[in-house]
Amino acid sequence: MLYYLGIIFIVLFNMAILYDLTQHNEDLYKSNFSLFVYVLTFFCLIELLLFTLVYLFLINTIGLLS
């Protein structure tokens, strides 16, 4: 349950970053839309990977994972 909650928070946080960056960098957003979205998606996936690794490490350390 906490894992899914963490993923939801990461995705919502990245959506807020996308909105903020589109407001401040309209020229870049309009000229290279696919590159803009690709880079932000890449960083979102990296964040999800790191979150998963830390989550599994903590669960394994505590001993909840058999």
CA 49 remoteness from chain centre: 9
Q: C-alpha angle with apex 28: 48 to 13, nearest 5 degrees?
A: 25
pTM, two decimal places: 0.78
- C-alpha R_g of the chain: 16
Q: What is the per-residue pLDDT for 18?
A: 86
Q: What is the per-residue pLDDT for 54?
A: 94
Q: What is the per-residue pLDDT for 65?
A: 67
Binned average pLDDT, 10 residues per bin, the chain of 66 residues: 91 90 82 86 94 92 77
